[in-house]
Each structure stands twice: as C-alpha cells, then as structure tokens.
C-alpha cells in the first residue's frame, strides 16, 4: 500500500512538472510571437521620429530621432487635408463596421432560425459570392455609381459593404454553436416578436462574434484604397489611404519620408483604439465559452 501511494505521488509530481514545462513553452512561444508582431510597430514609430535625410542615409536604427514634432507639423501644414481625411475614414469605417455586423447577423439569424424552401440554395449562393474578386466587378460598379451620380459620396463605400458574405458565414457558424433554437421558441411562446428576439436575445449572445467581425470590418474598410480611389475625386472627401498614397507619390522636391511615416503612424491610432474598446467583449466571450465547456 505504501509503495502504491509513493508511486501515485511520483506520478502526480511528474504530471505537474510536465504541465509546468508545457506552460513555460507556451509562454515563451507567445512572447516571441508578440515581439515579432510588435517589432514592426516599433520600427514605424522610430521612423516617424526621424528626418528625411536620416532615413535615407542611415537606414534602420533602434534609437528614436528628434523630428517627431517637426514631422507632424510638416504633415498638418502640407497640402493634404489630413484631419479631414481622418474624419472621413472614421465615418466610413465606423458606419461600415456597425451596419455590416448588424445586418450580416440578421441574415444569419434568418437562415438559422427558419426553415423554408430555398434555405440551402441561398446559403450556397451567398457563399459562392465570396469567390468573386472585387476587381472583377469594379468596372460595372463604377458605371453604376456614375449613372446614379454618387461620385464623391460615401454611400457607395458604406452600402455595398453591408452585404459581406464572409461576415455572414462567420455569424452563421457562431449561431450554430451558441444559439439553441429552443431558446428562440421559448421567447416566441412568451410573446416576443422577431425583432425584439433578435435585438434582446440574439445580439447579446453574439457579442464576441460581433466584436471580432466589427474589428475585421473596420480594419478592412480603413485600409481600403481601391474602391475609394475610383469614386472619390474631391480632396475634401478622400480617405487616409488615398492621402498616404498621394504623399508617397509626390515628386522628389516635395517627398518627405519622415512625413510619410508620421502619417502612417497617425493613421493606425484609431484602429488600435477600436481594438482596445472591442477586445473586452472577445475576452468575455472566450471566458463564457470556457465556463460553458
């Protein structure tokens, strides 16, 4: 009996040591991956503090320069409407993210909660749209926008982005695992309407998925250069990616690499803020899933 007890203790200690080793390896890998991801942000911020001449002659350096305020001053006094571009990008990306995740979740809810004749066909059709590149439909889209006289307008940037097959598919798969139909039936028996069920029951349960897709939709719209470049011609309507491209394509006498890096650094702050705001919903969703498991 004593030998069996000793063996059990030894096995327990061995399992504990093995678990601690695996945990240490995981932490080391996570730290290395985090460093690799954040290193390029560090390079960007360092370059934003350096002058144009230093960037050309010295290459990379880990020591910050002393031209950060000067670069930003040159940026805000340049011919590019930087603050207006920031407002335009926030408006377009914010509306796109909010409307995209809401209506994609509503579409996914319709296919998840109801049975009708063309349900499987519509699901397959929506997924098939994912295979069509944006560039293929660009010419027809541009002709449509010109025919509707919507050039230099944010509507063509926001409204088409609402119908996102990728976001819909993610929402549909998330509902399959977290939204039981019995809960919806119980709400209907209690007299709740479909709109109230969706807004009061489905949306709160979908917060982690909504937060993830809101981040992706916001970043995708924020970095979108192709479509805005086609339809936005007035300098007061242009978004930040277009203004950054304009700075990079300036002639030799006006080109300032420090100014370009300062504008890129300036443009990533709203993305970081959006992530910090929505990340708490992702963490809470993961914790809730762990408790349920």
Domain CATH number, residue 182: 1.10.3720.10
Q: Domain for residue 55, yes or no? A: no
Give yes or no: residues 266 and 158 share one domain: yes
Give yes or no: residues 77 and 35 share one domain: no
Alpha-carbon gap, residue 235 to 179, rounded angstroms: 46
pLDDT digits (tens, 9 = 90+) for 145-158: 888 888 889 999 99
Residue 277: give the domain boundaries.
Answer: 68-292
Alpha-carbon gap, residue 36 to 34, rounded angstroms: 5
Please state, for a pLDDT cut of 90, what percent of the chain lies above it: 14
Average pLDDT over residues 89-111: 92
Q: Domain for residue 63, yes or no? A: no
Number of structural domains, the chain?
2
Residue 132, helix vs strand vs coil: coil
Give yes or no: residues 116 and 32 share one domain: no
Structure confidence at residue 98 (pLDDT) = 93
Choice between 64 and 218, residue whose per-residue pLDDT is larger: 218
Q: What is Dmax (Cα atoms) for the chain?
A: 89
Q: Domain for residue 26, yes or no? A: yes
Give yes or no: residues 24 and 128 share one domain: no
Q: Domain for residue 133, yes or no? A: yes
In this prediction, residue 291 has a pLDDT band, given cuts at 50, 70 and 90, of very low
User: Which residues have CB under 8 Å from 225's CB, separation 6+?
Assistant: 241, 242, 245
pLDDT digits (tens, 9 = 90+) for 183-229: 888 888 888 888 898 998 899 888 888 988 898 899 999 999 888 98
Q: Domain for residue 61, yes or no? A: no
Of the listed ranges 52-56, 171-175, 176-180, the least confidently predicted one is: 52-56
Give yes or no: residues 90 and 171 share one domain: yes
Asked if the model's pLDDT at residue 289 lies above 50, the reply is: no
Asked if the model's pLDDT at residue 103 lies above 90, the reply is: yes
262-to-89, 118, 125, 268 alpha-carbon distances in Å = 17, 52, 44, 10
Give yes or no: residues 224 and 260 share one domain: yes
Q: Domain for residue 176, yes or no? A: yes
Asked if the model's pLDDT at residue 40 lies above 80, the reply is: yes
Is the CB of residue 138 less than 8 Å from the CB of residue 156?
no
Give yes or no: residues 261 and 150 share one domain: yes
Asked if the model's pLDDT at residue 47 lies above 70, the reply is: yes
Give yes or no: residues 38 and 157 share one domain: no
Structure confidence at residue 258 (pLDDT) = 83
Asked if the model's pLDDT at residue 290 lies above 60, the reply is: no
CA pseudo-torsion sign 113, 114, 120, 126: negative
Average pLDDT over residues 65-86: 85
Structure confidence at residue 61 (pLDDT) = 80
Asked if the model's pLDDT at residue 18 lies above 80, the reply is: no
Q: Domain for residue 286, yes or no? A: yes
Q: Domain for residue 39, yes or no? A: yes
Give yes or no: residues 38 and 109 share one domain: no
Is the CB of residue 142 less than 8 Å from the CB of residue 230?
yes
Give yes or no: residues 221 and 260 share one domain: yes
Of the listed ranges 3-7, 104-108, 116-120, the least confidently predicted one is: 3-7
Is the CB of residue 206 less than 8 Å from the CB of residue 282?
no
Give yes or no: residues 27 and 117 share one domain: no
Give yes or no: residues 121 and 217 share one domain: yes
- Of how many residues is the chain composed? 293
């Amino acid at each position: 009996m004593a030998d069996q007890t000793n063996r059990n203790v030894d096995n327990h200690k061995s399992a504990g040591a093995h678990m601690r080793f695996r945990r240490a390896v995981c932490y080391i890998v996570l730290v290395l991956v985090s460093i690799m991801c954040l290193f390029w942000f560090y390079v960007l911020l360092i370059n934003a503090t350096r002058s144009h001449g230093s960037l050309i002659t010295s290459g990379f350096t880990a020591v910050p320069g002393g031209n950060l305020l000067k670069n930003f001053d040159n940026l805000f006094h340049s011919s590019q409407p930087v603050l207006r571009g920031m407002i335009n990008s926030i408006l377009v990306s914010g509306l796109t993210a909010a409307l995209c995740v809401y209506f994609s979740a509503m579409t996914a809810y319709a296919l998840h909660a109801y049975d009708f004749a063309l349900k499987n066909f519509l699901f397959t059709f929506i997924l098939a749209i994912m295979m069509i590149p944006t560039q293929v439909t660009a010419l027809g889209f541009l002709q449509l926008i010109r025919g509707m006289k919507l050039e230099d307008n944010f509507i063509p940037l926001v409204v088409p982005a609402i119908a996102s097959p990728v976001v819909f598919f993610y929402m549909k798969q998330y509902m399959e695992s977290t939204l039981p139909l019995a809960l919806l039936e119980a709400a209907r028996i209690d007299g709740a309407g479909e709109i109230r069920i969706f807004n009061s029951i489905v949306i709160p349960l979908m917060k982690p998925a909504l937060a993830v897709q809101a981040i992706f939709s916001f970043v995708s719209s924020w970095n979108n250069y192709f479509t805005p470049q086609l339809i936005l011609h007035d300098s007061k309507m242009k978004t930040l990616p277009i203004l950054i491209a304009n700075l990079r394509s300036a002639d030799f006498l006006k080109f300032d690499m420090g100014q370009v890096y300062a504008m890129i650094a300036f443009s990533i702050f709203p993305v970081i803020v959006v992530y910090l705001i929505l990340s708490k919903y992702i963490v809470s969703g993961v914790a809730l899933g762990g408790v349920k498991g």
